[in-house]
Amino acid sequence: MIVTRSWLSEFIDLGDVTNETLYKTFNAIGLEVDSINEITIPEKVVVGKVLSCEKHPDADKLNVCRIDVGSGTRQIVCGAANVVNAEYVAVATIGAVLPGDFEIKHAKLRGVESEGMVCSAKELGLPEIGDGIMILDESIGSLEAGKALSSYPTVSDTIIELELTANRGDCLSIFGVARDLSVALDKELKHFEYKQDEKMKLGIAREAEMHQEGEMDADLHYKLANIDTLQESFLITLRLAMVDASNESKLQSLLAYATHTTGVILRAFDSTFFKQEEKIVLKVKELQKGIIELLGNGTVQATVGVNQSDDSTAGDTAQQVIFEASYIHPDLMVEAISEKNYTTDDLYYKSSRGSNPELDFGLKYLSMILERYQDISCFEGRLRIDVDRTQETIPVNTQEVVDIIGMEVDKTRIVTILQKLGFQVSSR
């Protein structure tokens, strides 16, 4: 599991916590640190505002740009094709020393003076995030020409890779790790709040319906949205690259980001595969305990928590999308799938180890980033199946806890830790 310091900071205040303390704390609570990578953006690398961009008079693949770097306007020759689409970029000014001891100096390229370099992510020691130079946007904060790129915590971040045991599915998300960390550091979790933007007044029931066949031992929530335009968010693209979860699809990147953040299994389907005349019809069918299929027009479009049809997977050209949040108890799923020859996808790794059952949290977080970074309108309400589960009671003996962990912990401390982890505790 890979997390970043700034991403964890969405849920817990780490302002007074050093990376050394994080390292020691993770190891102390059983989340073994495999590696820590502190990203250091070089000095004299600043935010630049592209004022103009014209073809080089003597080179087809070069552009001559005028860029505001705060201290003045600089002429910089750039060979990246995507610079023509950029408003804000990362500029290494004269005297900057990039990774590999590459010093930026005055240069003349094909007879044209160049006073600096427009940088790609890789040239700054960041994970690669696509071809060409790095195009910035305000998802990382307010952009100001001349501002040091190192001053943005989401860029000068710390990447931490944790080695999790198979039974720690609860920590396969940023939120899950932050929850454990908050208890260990005795810090409160930040409360997540979301209120839907009322662009869309129509309720989902006017457009879609769901039919259930068989008893469901799963929680399933479906939300409907219309997509006007999809744009790349620099923050989402960068963070996904940092945790090795990059995706070429803008829509699938949003889903991957929300799933990695919340731990809730999220998928997206193109609604055209479920259209029956003028209405969207979803059919969920339980084949056996732990195996539930989602059908559209009589065709299996997904096995919940296991896989999804390539055809109905919503891509960047989809105009209307059905979002699915799901939870099946991992023991039921793994046992059932092991008896069958099912193809599994990347999300099965999370669902088979115990994904986050708080589907409301997952869909609300997804809705928040959709409305913040995209031109997407979500219908009010959702289609849902919820299982009324009996909560299991676990007796806890103080002396047994002490014997297992090898250190003295009093009863009050144990109760406090359990309550902060979300357990309801009753004393006998």
pLDDT tens-digit series, residues 255-310? 999 999 999 999 999 999 999 988 999 999 999 888 999 999 999 999 999 999 99
Helix (H, G, I), strand (E, B), or coil: what is residue 123? helix
Closest CA to 62 of 81, 75, 85: 81
C-alpha torsion angle, residues 5, 11, 16, 20 (rounded to 10): -40
pLDDT tens-digit series, residues 87-103? 999 999 999 999 999 99
HSE (side-chain half, CA atoms, 13 Å) at 396:
19
Rounded CA-CA distance 265/256 in Å is: 9
Mean pLDDT of 143-172: 96
Closest CA to 359 of 304, 286, 309, 320: 304
Percent of the chain with pLDDT over 70: 98
Predicted pLDDT of residue 196: 66
Of the pLDDT bands very low, low, confident and very high (cuts 50, 70, 90), residue 201 is: low
Number of helices and strands in the chain (H, E)? 10, 24
Closest CA to 365 of 266, 288, 276, 296: 266
Q: Are 325 and 363 in contact (CB under 8 A)?
A: yes
Q: Which residue has the higher pLDDT, 414 or 64?
A: 64
- Give the list of residues 6+ apart from residue 255 with CB closer than 8 angstroms, or none: 266, 267, 268, 323, 366
Predicted pLDDT of residue 38: 97
Closest CA to 326 of 370, 378, 290, 369: 290
Predicted pLDDT of residue 200: 57
Q: Are 251 and 268 in contact (CB under 8 A)?
A: yes
- Give me the domains of the chain, ranges plus CATH numbers: 2-39+157-185 (3.30.56.10), 45-151 (2.40.50.140), 204-385 (3.50.40.10), 391-427 (no CATH)
DSSP 8-class letter at 325: E
Residue 124 phi/psi, 5-degree rounding, is -100, 5
Predicted pLDDT of residue 407: 81
On average, the pLDDT of the chain sits at 92
Mean pLDDT of 211-227: 92
pLDDT over 60 at 369, yes or no: yes
HSE (side-chain half, CA atoms, 13 Å) at 15:
1
Predicted pLDDT of residue 428: 62
pLDDT tens-digit series, residues 408-426? 888 888 888 888 888 888 8
pLDDT tens-digit series, residues 1-57? 999 999 999 999 999 999 999 999 999 999 999 999 999 999 999 999 999 999 998
Mean pLDDT of 72-83: 94
Of the pLDDT bands very low, low, confident and very high (cuts 50, 70, 90), residue 377 is: confident
DSSP string over 238-300: HHHHHTT---SSHHHHHHHHHHHHH--EEEEEEGGGGEETTEEEEEEEEEETTEEEEEETTEE
Of the pLDDT bands very low, low, confident and very high (cuts 50, 70, 90), residue 198 is: low
Rounded CA-CA distance 381/398 in Å is: 45
- Return the sign of the alpha-carbon dihedral for residues 202, 386, 338, 244: positive
Mean pLDDT of 230-243: 94
- Give the list of residues 6+ apart from residue 34 with CB closer than 8 angstroms, or none: 161, 162, 163
Rounded CA-CA distance 15/19 in Å is: 11
pLDDT over 60 at 380, yes or no: yes
Lookup: tokens for 39: 């990203």
Rounded CA-CA distance 216/219 in Å is: 8
Predicted pLDDT of residue 197: 64
pLDDT tens-digit series, residues 329-355? 998 888 888 878 788 999 999 999 999
Predicted pLDDT of residue 426: 84
Of the pLDDT bands very low, low, confident and very high (cuts 50, 70, 90), residue 427 is: confident
